[in-house]
Amino acid sequence: MARVQDKVAIVTGAAMGLGAAIALRLAEEGAKLMLGDIDADALETSAANAKAAGAEVETLVGDVTEEGPAAALIQGALDRFGQLDILVNNVGGSRNSKIWEMPVEDWDHTVKLNLRGTFLCTRAAVPHMMERKAGKIICLSSGAREGTPWTAYYQGGSAYSACKAGVHGFIRDVALELAEYNINVNAVGPGPIDTERAGATLRQMNETVEYSPNHMTPLGRLGQPKEVADAVLFLASDEASYISGHTLAVAGGR
Ligand SMILES: NC(=O)c1ccc[n+]([C@@H]2O[C@H](COP(=O)([O-])OP(=O)(O)OC[C@H]3O[C@@H](n4cnc5c(N)ncnc54)[C@H](O)[C@@H]3O)[C@@H](O)[C@H]2O)c1
């Protein structure tokens, strides 16, 4: 029996990076998928990979930091598959700069990207999960929730760290609110992961700077997207039925 056989899962930001890896891993373990992203072409590629792994897949192109597209993503899953079991709030990212020179627009952009979509998708998904008294919600936090030395030292990352600590606070509270409805709400906190977007910068840092990701990470290497996807899969499965309100570090020992 596959680990999420016939469960219906939504993954936001599923076109690239960790979202694509999470979608593929859930597909390999039997889930039916509703995948959302703003990048239509890359989303089709990700959907094709999930289909090749045996999944039924629906896609929706839209910005989940806005109310309409976030609600449409949830409704799209219900329309196509009739239920929703798993929501993965993966969309996030950062505009980095040192605190003394960060434009207010960059602060606002980062807060919106990491927190607003997570809030909007969760709000839209939970009435259905509450009715069925079942559901798993997994959000993408980060090791940055406690500060990231290499980012802080060389670029500045306070907006991103504040947001990812915010994701931890979000899942702590929502887990309490939804406990009586048998809905598990958790996060994963990845360390430096070798994705298409972040990988090049992380590898360059490993070659050029003293406080590098490899140097500051006990396991001494970058993580792979699949290693994060495996942790999300665990939290989405029945194996994690007594875990809620927890941020699982997938950060090479940091
Ligand atoms: N890569 C890492 O090292 C790392 C480490 C810790 C945490 N994270 C977190 O993991 C998550 C995924 O990271 P990633 O590195 O794969 O990111 P990424 O930038 O590579 O991919 C993000 C995906 O989301 C999509 N997207 C962006 N804005 C969107 C929006 N408003 N609506 C819908 N889709 C949107 C993009 O098109 C892209 O496909 C993020 O929350 C990130 O903060 C990543």
Sorting pLDDT into bands at 50, 70 and 90, what band is 19?
very high
Q: Using the atom order of ligand 1, give the atom closest to the CA of residue 202.
A: 3
Helix, strand or coil for residue 2? Answer: coil
Q: What is the pLDDT of residue 217?
A: 98
Mean pLDDT of 196-213: 95
What is the percent of the chain with per-residue pLDDT over 70, rounded to a whole number? 100
Best mutation site among 11, 18, 65 for ligand 1, i.e. most ligand atoms within 8 A of its Cβ?
Answer: 18
For ligand 1, the distance from its centroid to the CA atom of residue 93, given in whole angstroms, is 5
For ligand 1, the distance from its centroid to the CA atom of residue 133, given in whole angstroms, is 29
Sorting pLDDT into bands at 50, 70 and 90, what band is 94?
very high
| Domain boundaries of the chain, sorted by first residue | 8-245
Do 114 and 123 contact (CB within 8 A), yes or no? no
Mean pLDDT of 85-89: 99
Active site residue 160: yes
For ligand 1, the distance from its centroid to the CA atom of residue 178, given in whole angstroms, is 26
Q: What is the pLDDT of residue 83?
A: 98
Distance CA 80, CA 64 (A): 19
- Residue with the nearest Cα to atom 2 of ligand 1? 193
Candidates 3.90.1170.50, 3.40.50.720, 3.40.50.12280, 3.90.1150.10; correct CATH number of 8-245? 3.40.50.720
Sorting pLDDT into bands at 50, 70 and 90, what band is 141?
very high
Mean pLDDT of 54-58: 98
- Residue with the nearest Cα to atom 17 of ligand 1? 17
Ligand 1-lining residues (CB < 6 angstroms)? 12-13, 15-19, 36-39, 42, 63-65, 90-93, 117, 140, 142, 190, 192-193, 195-198
Catalytic residue among 160, 181, 211, 242: 160
For ligand 1, the distance from its centroid to the CA atom of residue 30, given in whole angstroms, is 24
pLDDT at residue 131 greater than cutoff 90: yes
What digits encode the pLDDT tens for the residues 227-241? 999 999 999 999 999
For ligand 1, the distance from its centroid to the CA atom of residue 64, given in whole angstroms, is 12
Sorting pLDDT into bands at 50, 70 and 90, what band is 1?
confident
- Residue with the nearest Cα to atom 32 of ligand 1? 63
Please give the C-alpha separations between residue 228 and each of 25, 181, 182, in angstroms, as whole numbers. Answer: 10, 27, 24
Q: What is the pLDDT of residue 52?
A: 98
- Residue with the nearest Cα to atom 28 of ligand 1? 91
Q: Using the atom order of ligand 1, give the atom closest to the CA of residue 19.
A: 16
What digits encode the pLDDT tens for the residues 144-168? 999 999 999 999 999 999 999 999 9
Sorting pLDDT into bands at 50, 70 and 90, what band is 244?
very high
Mean pLDDT of 22-45: 99
pTM over 0.85: yes
Sorting pLDDT into bands at 50, 70 and 90, what band is 53?
very high
Distance CA 59, CA 76 (A): 8
DSSP code per residue over 163-188: HHHHHHHHHHHHHHHHGGGTEEEEEE
Token look-up 């760290």 returns 161
Mean pLDDT of 37-66: 98
Do 184 and 87 contact (CB within 8 A), yes or no? no
Rounded to the nearest 10 degrees, the angle between the axes of helix 117-132 and helix 158-178 is 10
Distance CA 7, CA 97 (A): 41
